[in-house]
Structure 1
Amino acid sequence: MDRGKYNIKAVAALVGLNPTTIRAWERRYQVLDPDRSESGHRIYSDNDVAKLRWIVDKQKEGLSVSKAIQLYEMPVNRAEVPHDYGVELRDQLFQALTNFEERHAHDIMNKAFSMFSFDKVIQDIVGPLLHEIGVKWESGEITIAHEHFATAFLRARLSTLSLQMPINPFLPRIVCVCAPEEEHELGLLFFTLYLRQSGFDVIFLGSGIPVQDLVTVTHQLQPKAVILSCTLSDHLPLLDEALARLMSDFPDLEIGLGGYAVDQLPERYGPHLLGADDQSWKSWLSRLTPTTGV
């Protein structure tokens, strides 16, 4: 199914029409039937963009709008691979971040949010970008300096956005933190945003803190769950220590684990593993909300 991802401003820019014209065509010709966001705004798909482009091109050839639409509905071959501008912006953002061009990176993010829906930016631009940065760091294609710069930039932008996300009062509090001495926050940052999108009250602590400090903070915050992320296997001993302390001091606490190091040891951390996709996350989180789900 071709999902909606572009707001009307983005579509207008992509096809060379103004929003008023697009809305008029929808009313007069029923040319499109866009999805609606939760707030009621029109959300258009790649197929919608391709259709409008085709009609605009026929207009330039001299056809009326009504005739172009009529021709479009005929069973002729109009095969066209729609261009996903989100991929293009994601590539531009990766280049800006790995070149340490902070101002340019902000401009690209501003453009993405002005053109696309929030879900589109997070799921198709930010999420894959975080993954790409992590993979390239692990393979040695970029340095730890690049990863830290990208993390700091995205954390600042996403923290601002997360403040705009409403908290569902029926969902519990979750603390997200790296394993002690672990500094790689990218995966945890994205999972935190996923939780906030779902309405959870999330406390993001970022880089790992000493075990005793984690215990102290958990006493203070009284969360329903603590999520620990561990990327480097060197930090597994301290992760195990933190896991043992939390399980001992907070027997009712749900503890989730993610990150490359723990994902390689499913037999060791199985019940705590979050998984790596939306379905796995929902399944794990369902244990926090047994009556309502996520």
Structure 2
Amino acid sequence: MSALPIAAVERDTGIPKDTLRVWERRYAFPQPVRDDKGERLYPAEQVEKLRLLRRLLDQGHRPGSIVAAPTEALAALLEPAGERGREPADPGIAALIDLVRLHRSAELRATLQQHLVKLGLQRFVSELVAPLSRAIGEAWLHGEIGVAEEHLFTEHVQNLLRSSISSLGTGSRSPRILMTTLPGEEHILGLLMVEAMLAPEGVQCISLGAQTPLADIAQAARDGQFDVVAVSFSAAFPARQAFRGIEQLRDALPASIALWAGGAALHGKRKRIDKVQQIAQLDDLPDALAEWRKAN
């Protein structure tokens, strides 16, 4: 991996650009080089250390105690907790990860398609895509696959989900759901997984894509007379930033429009926001939908 610009480092590690700049000033790490235009470039070894830092932050360590530490010390801190918390992969999941690792695109596409036909769209998403996505994330965190392999997986799954959703046609039943991610969250796989769970129920889902400004989400929801706004957060998105954005969006939306929020960044978090339906896992979506329909 060659040196990466700051935007790519943010995507790769999930650490926001502003945080990287603050650490650079406060802790003298990272120490990017500059290109001929004066833009920051981060060498591969610094990006690897930033990945370790992100994992330690997720485990509860504070930046002041770890950012300046040597990489070896960070790895020693991480290894015991990481190994204890990692469950053995299901053989079927492991086989798919091997296809991703080896870049066997045709076999990966065919195998995913076979699982889709066998399980049906909703079970395919909840029983295969969701755990496979988590396993891919774990493999990336442990250095077993790279960014290119992760992107390969994501591209295949997104294409398959889009095709399956499109084949169902436009839903005609309420609620009408506006879907997007907040600024800083460029991953849309979570949105497609939610839509794939809801489309077979006849729900009308409209996606704004990724990184929609809060004011624009609220305006679109009002103008389009949507019943629900749904936002998704990947594991790479900082949980504190996610909760802050959810609170701001809830304040910006009319009380008549429900707000649903979910994704890996919120998984396992105890914090609850008033008047927000927090979806812990994909299997909870049918219940959330049933509750909305019963109440409306």
Shorter-normalised TM range = 0.5 to 0.7
Residue type at the aligned position of 2:165: S
> Which position in structure 1 is the counterpart of 2:211?
208
Q: 1:89·1:112 contact (CA, 8 Å) conserved in 2?
A: no
- Distance (whole Å) between structure 2 residues aligned to residue 199 and residue 290 of structure 1: 15
Q: Following superposition of structure 1 onto structure 2, how do residues 73-112 of structure 1 map, counting pairs within 5 Å? A: 90-112=93-115
Q: 1:117 to 1:107 in 2, by over 3 A?
A: same
1:186 aligns with 2:189: yes
Q: 1:229 to 1:111 in 2, by over 3 A?
A: closer
> Which position in structure 1 is the counterpart of 2:285?
281
- Distance (whole Å) between structure 2 residues aligned to residue 137 and residue 218 of structure 1: 36
TM-score, normalised to structure 2's length? 0.57
Residue type at the aligned position of 2:273: Y
Structure 1: gaps spanning 5 or more residues = 1-86
Cα-Cα RMSD: 3.1
Query: In the alignment, which of 176, 183, 204 is matched to residue 173 of structure 1?
Result: 176
- 251-260 or 94-103, which deviates more: 94-103
Q: 1:118 to 1:96 in 2, by over 3 A?
A: same
Cα displacement string for residues 36-58 of structure 1 (whole angstroms, at most 9, x for unaligned residues): xxxxxxxxxxxxxxxxxxxxxxx
- Distance (whole Å) between structure 2 residues aligned to residue 205 and residue 138 of structure 1: 29
Q: 2:178·2:230 contact (CA, 8 Å) conserved in 1?
A: yes
> Which position in structure 2 is the counterpart of 1:62?
none
Residue type at the aligned position of 2:176: R
1:156 aligns with 2:159: yes
For 1:266, what is the secondary structure of its paired residue?
coil
Residue type at the aligned position of 1:156: N
Q: CA deviation at 1:147?
A: 2.6
- Distance (whole Å) between structure 2 residues aligned to residue 237 and residue 117 of structure 1: 35
Q: 1:178 to 1:141 in 2, by over 3 A?
A: farther
For 1:252, what is the secondary structure of its paired residue?
coil
> Which position in structure 2 is the counterpart of 1:267?
271
Q: 1:228 to 1:95 in 2, by over 3 A?
A: same
> Which position in structure 1 is the counterpart of 2:251?
247
Q: 2:231·2:260 contact (CA, 8 Å) conserved in 1?
A: yes
Query: In the alignment, which of 277, 287, 294 is matched to residue 290 of structure 1?
Result: 294
Q: 1:136·1:142 contact (CA, 8 Å) conserved in 2?
A: yes
Larger Rg computed on CA atoms: 1
- Distance (whole Å) between structure 1 residues aligned to residue 288 and residue 191 of structure 2: 15
Matched positions, count? 204
For 2:174, what is the secondary structure of its paired residue?
coil
- 235-244 or 193-202, which deviates more: 235-244
Structure 2: gaps spanning 5 or more residues = 1-89
- Distance (whole Å) between structure 2 residues aligned to residue 127 and residue 241 of structure 1: 24
- Distance (whole Å) between structure 1 residues aligned to residue 150 and residue 248 of structure 2: 30
Residue type at the aligned position of 1:175: L
Q: CA deviation at 1:219?
A: 3.5
Q: 1:274·1:281 contact (CA, 8 Å) conserved in 2?
A: yes
Query: In the alignment, which of 131, 153, 157 is matched to residue 134 of structure 2?
Result: 131
Cα displacement string for residues 127-169 of structure 1 (whole angstroms, at most 9, x for unaligned residues): 4322322343455543343333322221111101101225552
Q: 1:264 to 1:99 in 2, by over 3 A?
A: same
For 1:282, what is the secondary structure of its paired residue?
helix
Q: 1:244 to 1:152 in 2, by over 3 A?
A: same
1:146 aligns with 2:149: yes
Q: 1:175 to 1:183 in 2, by over 3 A?
A: same
Q: CA deviation at 1:288?
A: 2.1
Q: CA deviation at 1:252?
A: 1.1
Residue type at the aligned position of 1:155: Q
> Which position in structure 2 is the counterpart of 1:48?
none
Q: 2:242·2:265 contact (CA, 8 Å) conserved in 1?
A: no
Q: CA deviation at 1:113?
A: 4.8
